[in-house]
Amino acid sequence: MKISLLLFSLFAFALPASAGVFTSIEDRTAKIEADTQGNNSYHAHLARMLADIALEEKGQHDLEAGKEFINMAEDHAAQAGGAK
Amino acid sequence: MIKRITLLAATLSLGACVTHTDINIDELADARAAIAASKAAGAERCAPKLQAEAVSSLYWAAHEYSEGSIHPEENAELTARAISKAQEAKAASKRNCAPAKPEIIKLSGIQFPHDSAELTPASIAILDKAVDTLNRRAKINVEVAAHTDSSGAASYNEALSSRRAASVMNYLQSKGISANRLSSKGYGEAQPIVSNTTAEGRAENRRVELRVLN
């Protein structure tokens, strides 16, 4: 029973962990900045701007909006193709 | 205890799947249209920062609208910013940005007998290398573009270059390159790359190249 519970908990926590739920928005913004440094493509600009909005929303205590925008920012950072 | 853990795990799992803000609301119709117009004008490539400002403002406005009428001024300001940045991006794209040049695969050395579209052995050897390239880059489609120098009438040169382009395309097809990936066009003397005043220049202008279309 205990082992089943342990396995279930590990699996359940793996999903949010892989989605970055346990990493702060500030850390994720910093990673986006680093990953797109010097990249002036549309997706790189958009990734940085969405990350800034995420920080702004978090600063206004809207953590859900902050997470939503940082997820979008990471999507665009991935499309930007890295730092230049 | 088990119920509590299950509830916590389910909450965290769902938290990983937050949906994106909905931009398809009536209040943002003008902003969406402005951004679509700037995108169509090439703004993602030609004015990427302005276009990103427009799109990020659109998303932010969509989020603010999702909170109802708590901050109506902020909603209106973000929407107006999305529209004005998109308009700036569109204008900048038209002003600054030349159309993207297609990638050209040069087939240096391809020659034809005078007034002929027949491939010489030397030209066939060059085309065999082009076949290798097209097999290696299996996802590209190309236009076989043939050019002449300015000797003779323009209409004659255009017809001759069309025959030569078709001849090259047929050879590539005969070597297994799918017809769906190939087209051909004769440009005649309309697109010289150097002056036609010298024999060397005219030789350089008589050429065949592959224009990558995708």
Q: Tens of pLDDT along A29-81? A: 999 999 999 999 999 999 999 999 999 999 988 899 999 999 999 999 999 97
Contact flag A46-B60 (C-beta cutoff 8 Å): no
Look at residue B21 in the predicted model and tell me its pLDDT. 75
pLDDT of res. B120:
92
Whether B51 has its CB under 8 Å from any CB of chain A: the answer is: yes
Measured from the Cβ of residue A64, the count of other Cβ atoms closer than 10 Å reads 12
Given a contact cutoff of 8 angstroms between Cβ atoms, the answer to whether B162 and B184 are in contact is yes
On the question of pLDDT at A19 being above 80, the answer is no
Please write down the long-range contacts of B5-10, taking CB distance under 8 Å and 24 or more positions apart. Answer: B5/A5, B5/A9, B6/A8, B9/A8, B9/A9, B9/A12, B9/A13, B10/A12
Instruction: For residue B11, count other CB atoms closer than 10 A to its CB.
Output: 11
Task: Collect all residues of chain B within an 8 Å Cβ-Cβ radius of residue A64.
Answer: 18
Q: A2 vs B182, which has greater pLDDT? A: B182
What is the value of pTM for the model shown?
0.55
The confidence score (pLDDT) of residue B214 equals 82
Higher-pLDDT residue of A5, A81: A81
For chain B, which residues score pLDDT lower than 70?
1-20, 69, 99-100
Cα–Cα distance measured from residue B13 to residue A14, given in angstroms and rounded to the nearest whole number:
8
**Complex prediction ipTM:** 0.77
**Å between B49 CA and nearest CA of chain A:** 6
Residues B143-162: pLDDT tens digits? 999 999 999 999 999 999 99
B102 in Cβ contact with B202 (< 8 Å): no
B64 CB within 8 Å of a chain A CB: no
